[in-house]
Amino acid sequence: MKAKEPLGSRLAEAVGGGVLRVFLIIVGLFWLVPTIGLLLSSLRSPEDIAASGWWNVFTEPSQITFDSYAKLLENDDITSSLLNTVWITVPATLLVVIIGSLAGYAFAWMEFPGRDWWFLGVVGLLVVPVQVALIPIAELFGTIGIFGSVLGVVLFHVGFGLPFAVFLLRNFFAEIPRELLEAARLDGAGELRLFFRVVLPLGGPAIAALGIFQFLWVWNDMLVALIFSDSGSQPITVALQTQVRQFGNNIDVLAPGAFISMVVPLAVFFAFQRQFVSGVMAGAVK
Amino acid sequence: MTSATAAGGVKPPAARKSRKSVTGTRRMVAALFLLPALVLLGALVVYPIGYSVVRSFYDQSGDGFAGIDNYKALFTDEGIRTALKNNIIWVVFAPTVATALGLIFAVLTERVRWGTAFKLVVFMPMAISMLAAGIIFRLVYDQDPDKGVANAVWVGVHDTFAPSSAFPKAHPGRDSPLEPAGGGAFITKSPVRAGEAVSLPLVGVAPRLMPDDAKAAVAPEPQPDKVTGTAWQDFTRGRGVGTLNEVDRAELGYAGMKVEAVKDGKVVASATAADDGTFTLPASADGAQLRLPASNFKEPYNGLDWLGPSLVTPSIIGSYIWMWAGFAMVLIAAGLASVPRELLEAARVDGASEWQVFRRVTVPLLAPVLAVVTVTLMINVLKIFDLVFIIAPGSSQDDANVLALELYRKGFSEDQPGIASAISVFLLLLVIPVMWFNVRRLRREVRR
């Protein structure tokens, strides 16, 4: 078919294809260069950073040093905040998945009055901006004495992660073939057994998508932790944020710190691309 | 399902008909399954909405009823008005540009073999925090073209089209034959004669800023019927001017310096100095004054002040687009994959050009996806906080202000929770149409 096309249009196609490639490569560079800039900046000494641009390492590779990273990992504020990020993210993700699955299953397969209205109510909460809750929850947490704790940050993330979790899981669970559930029921399984042995395993893809999505969401959060954590419970995003006001002076902390904070999300992203994409797509309502 | 999942989200295992309980659930059990979720949602999402609404009608201390004063502040408070204005700019530009780029990328990558790699690169920023993206772009937008890549590129492009001068700050020294001619140019005090050699000594160029091709200056040699001369740096490092207004050894010529001969305000001849600073003008320059035009002395172009008051919001929007264009692209690409190939082929067979196929077939078919993406980004942009908080330097943070940032300031650093609550209720009101749309869309489906 190609061979039958006139030479002119084949030529135009080849040139067009060349232009297209060059265009995409340039755009790709636009997207890559900022991150490369951060990485290379984190590998230079503060003196070099103050003197010249990161691209100078291409001509002077001897500038590359891991000193900033070494210093950073001796910085207790940073290491403890990295741990806090883990202590916040892991429970906030697990709780959302567990509580969301329970509710999702109830909304999908149990009978109780007003079931669908309750569910629609939850769906309505999908787009509620977190900003609405900052002041009230700050006061609430202050009253019950968990303001400034890891627990408070976790709870807040769970609360605002749940609408999406329930929405996603209920819709997914509802598509499980009835026959499967009935067969298990005939084998004598009760609700709990059905939930653990049939619904959860079949819900794997949705749960994975939700888990990845929530994990990245919480890991990357700054605003919630900025308000609800204190200096002892702050995650890495908040610890770095305090250094930003003197950006130029703190670049040897900020650049490697930002890069370290990106390593886990990027690893998750590359390892679970498919699930991440599913989660993001389903999350297009959030 | 939702249009989002129709765009290729999580695939359900199979279709189903009735969703009646298979176990004949007791209500107690259902309540136990639901309880944790409903309690947390109630306490952490629903209750705060009510609290914020009520709080927004009370004064800052929370003791006195304030009516709609807090809402009036939304439109009178200087900071909030800037925030509101910026939020409008954000909502109008960020989602549309990100969606447009996403559409372009999605369509173009379909035809390239390494399209997946490209998509990965563009989608990657979605995985990182806005804080990290903020730090990344603080580096990108560094004002100094020697450090910030944005200005390095921008100055590079600028200087390609409008080369900056080689001799900023050069100026006549003591007893110089030159005097300022206005506008940054310098002119000889007296006219020159053919057959004469003219000295044009200047000082003030830092040695490291001298052009690389500058060579040791050569004293001007008179030539019959010509005006000759030398423009040079009359300054020897470590030894001052040497012989004043005379070319000394180790003094450098002003390679590339432009020289004009001016008679009665008109340029009658011009020349460019050679690497050793010498230049030659034809006989027509006889009786003219020699002028060194201002273009020789312009300050080098230093690029744009990306994070200055006027550009800071567009700059931060740029970083947002960097983060979220990939989101638009992935959703649109999924939508594109579900567009029937036959339709596109049919249009091509009918003689439609690629552009017509794109404009008349692809885009209309993608309209629902484009709408979902744009609306999602709009909601997202409404709440934008981290990027502005991190990227805008203290000096221009007021100019970059957005509602979520102002809410944070009012509520947590200026102790005005009444106004902060009014801002939060305002944000909530803005997303209510979307909330209503989501609920309606699902109601039909839930009732199946």
A187: left (phi over 0), alpha (psi -120 to 50) or beta: alpha
Report the residue from B12, B140, B424 with minimal CB separation from A132: B424
CB contact under 8 A, B132 and A168: no
Structural domains present in chain A: 2-65 (no CATH), 70-285 (1.10.3720.10)
Top residue of A122, A131, A275 to mutate, by most chain B CBs within 10 Å, is A131
Q: Looking at this predicted complex, what is its ipTM?
A: 0.88
- DSSP SS3 for B105: helix
Report CA Rg, chain A. Answer: 25
Nearest residue to A162 via CA among B127, B42, B445: B42
CA atoms within 13 A on the CB side of B49: 16
Note whether A269 and A35 are within 8 A (CB). no
Nearest residue to A47 via CA among B147, B305, B207, B137: B147
- DSSP SS3 for A222: coil
Query: At residue B98, what is the residue type?
Result: A
A114-164: pLDDT as tens digits = 888 888 889 889 889 999 999 999 989 989 988 889 999 999 999 999 999
The per-residue pLDDT for B265 is 81
B246-305: pLDDT as tens digits = 787 778 888 888 888 888 888 888 888 888 888 888 888 888 888 888 777 776 677 788
Nearest residue to B232 via CA among B182, B242, B180: B242
- Strand partners of residue B231: B200
Top residue of A110, A147, A162 to mutate, by most chain B CBs within 10 Å, is A110
Query: Given pLDDT bands bounded at 50, 70 and 90, which one contains residue B90?
Result: very high
**A20 exposure class (CB count in 10 Å sphere: 0-12, 13-18, 19+):** middle
Top residue of B60, B135, B138, B379 to mutate, by most chain A CBs within 10 Å, is B135
CA distance A114 to chain B (A): 12
Minimal-distance CA residue of chain A relative to B334: A281
* A-proximal residues of B, 89-148, CB under 8 Å: 105, 108-109, 111-112, 118, 120-132, 134-140, 146-148
Report the residue from B118, B138, B425 with minimal CB separation from A28: B118
| pLDDT above 90: residue A222 | yes
Average pLDDT for chain B: 83
Span B3-8+27-141+307-446 CATH architecture: Orthogonal Bundle (1.10)
Residue B41 contacts A, CB cutoff 8 Å = yes
Average pLDDT over residues A243-255: 83
Top residue of B44, B74, B99, B432 to mutate, by most chain A CBs within 10 Å, is B44
CA A216 distance to own-chain centroid: 2
B344-398: pLDDT as tens digits = 888 888 877 878 888 888 888 888 889 888 988 998 899 999 999 999 888 888 8
The per-residue pLDDT for B44 is 92
pTM: 0.81
Query: Given pLDDT bands bounded at 50, 70 and 90, which one contains residue A14?
Result: low
* φ, ψ at B179 (rounded to 5°): -140, 160
B50-64, B149-163, B216-230, B399-413: range with lowest mean pLDDT: B149-163
**Does A226 or A194 have the greater pLDDT score?**
A226
Residue B237 contacts A, CB cutoff 8 Å = no
A82-121: pLDDT as tens digits = 999 999 999 999 999 999 999 998 888 887 888 888 888 8
**Does A6 or A276 have the greater pLDDT score?**
A276
CB contact under 8 A, A178 and B12: no
CB contact under 8 A, B44 and A185: no
- What are the residue ranges spanned by the domains of chain B? 3-8+27-141+307-446, 178-296
Residue A120 contacts B, CB cutoff 8 Å = yes
Angle at B333 between CA B327 and CA B335, to 5 degrees: 105
CB contact under 8 A, B7 and A129: no
CA distance B107 to chain A (A): 11
CA distance A64 to chain B (A): 16
The per-residue pLDDT for B23 is 57
